[in-house]
């Protein structure tokens, strides 16, 4: 029983990691993908906005469904095996006392010893699966295997907006009627609308991280980061 519990625990950690990688490959940011995988597997932790990112995408719904099913099955197995591990006749010390030890160990002592073994095993497994180098290697290995399957599609633009809270990078061409024309970046007051100009493409020249006194000319292409709604409203 105890061995089955340990195997189930290890498999659970691995399944959650695979789920996180799968979510990431559909476009979710890594920390969000890990949280959602754990939420699906454990059945807790969802918020309304994050749930929409999962339920609104066919691929993510399949991943979430698999994690929920495996999570419920794993929980049942762990509870059953954990309960069975406290039956005196099934414990490791009980088996040892029957086979190797010259004396009989009292049942109450056997149960407490088995509990100690379980706590130590859970702690060791937790430490192993939270060790940065080990987790990174396992994650990279699993990611390569999953990518080879080529079962995930690129995230849509609408999903990307939802995942980033509406922020993104956009390229705007300065035309004759543009309110930006012949103004400096400082004069444009784009920062007030939470818009940052990352670069300006002018003919064949690219001006990275342009200074505040850089003048915006006709035909310039502005690479902007900010709330896309504000970019369209002020620059498009």
pLDDT digits (tens, 9 = 90+) for 136-183: 888 888 777 776 665 555 555 545 555 556 677 788 888 888 888 899
Give the pLDDT confidence score for residue 83 in this predicted structure: 67
The region of weakest confidence among 44-53, 71-80, 111-120, 193-202 is 44-53
The average confidence (pLDDT) of the chain is 76
Whether 114 has a pLDDT exceeding 50, the answer reads yes
Give the pLDDT confidence score for residue 86 in this predicted structure: 60
Confidence of residue 184 (pLDDT cuts 50, 70, 90): very high
Whether 97 has a pLDDT exceeding 80, the answer reads no
Confidence of residue 101 (pLDDT cuts 50, 70, 90): very low
User: Which DSSP symbol is given to 191?
Assistant: G
The region of weakest confidence among 46-50, 89-93, 117-121, 221-225 is 89-93
The domain covering 166-235 belongs, at the CATH homologous superfamily level, to Regulator of K+ conductance, C-terminal domain (3.30.70.1450)
3-state secondary structure of 168: strand
Summarize the confidence of residues 79-95 as an average pLDDT: 59
User: What whole-number percentage of the chain has pLDDT above 90?
Assistant: 6
Task: State the Cα angle at 195 between 193 and 199, rounded to 5°.
Answer: 155
Which residues are paired to 195 by β-bridges?
A: 226
Give the pLDDT confidence score for residue 165 in this predicted structure: 61
User: What residues does each domain of the chain span?
Assistant: 2-154, 166-235
Strand order in the sheet with 205-208: 167-173, 221-227, 195-202, 205-208
Do 163 and 29 meet the contact criterion of CB atoms below 8 Å apart? Answer: yes
Measured distance CA(64)–CA(59) in Å, rounded: 9
Confidence of residue 108 (pLDDT cuts 50, 70, 90): low
Give the pLDDT confidence score for residue 177 in this predicted structure: 81
Environment class of 185 (CB within 10 Å of its CB; exposed 0-12, middle 13-18, buried 19+):
buried
Task: State the Cα angle at 6 between 21 and 89, rounded to 5°.
Answer: 160
């Amino acid at each position: 029983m105890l061995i089955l519990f340990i195997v189930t625990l290890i498999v659970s950690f691995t399944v959650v990691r695979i789920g996180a990688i799968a979510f990431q490959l559909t476009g979710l940011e890594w920390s969000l993908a890990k949280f959602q995988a754990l939420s699906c597997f454990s059945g807790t932790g969802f918020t309304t906005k994050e749930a929409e990112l999962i339920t609104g995408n066919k691929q993510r719904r399949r991943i979430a469904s698999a994690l929920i099913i495996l999570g419920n099955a794993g929980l049942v197995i762990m509870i059953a095996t954990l309960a069975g591990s406290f039956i005196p006749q099934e414990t490791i010390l009980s088996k040892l006392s029957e086979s190797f030890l010259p004396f009989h160990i009292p049942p109450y002592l056997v149960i407490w010893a088995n509990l100690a073994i379980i706590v130590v095993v859970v702690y060791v497994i937790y430490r192993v699966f939270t060790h940065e180098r080990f987790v990174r290697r396992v994650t990279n290995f699993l990611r390569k295997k999953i990518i080879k399957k080529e079962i995930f599609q690129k995230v849509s633009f609408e999903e990307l907006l939802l995942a980033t809270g509406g922020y993104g990078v956009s390229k705007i061409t300065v035309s004759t009627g543009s309110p930006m024309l012949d103004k400096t970046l400082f004069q444009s007051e784009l920062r007030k609308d939470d818009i940052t100009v990352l670069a300006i493409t002018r003919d064949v020249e690219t001006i990275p991280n342009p200074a505040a006194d850089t003048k915006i000319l006709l035909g310039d292409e502005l690479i902007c980061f900010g709330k896309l709604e504000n970019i369209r409203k002020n620059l498009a």
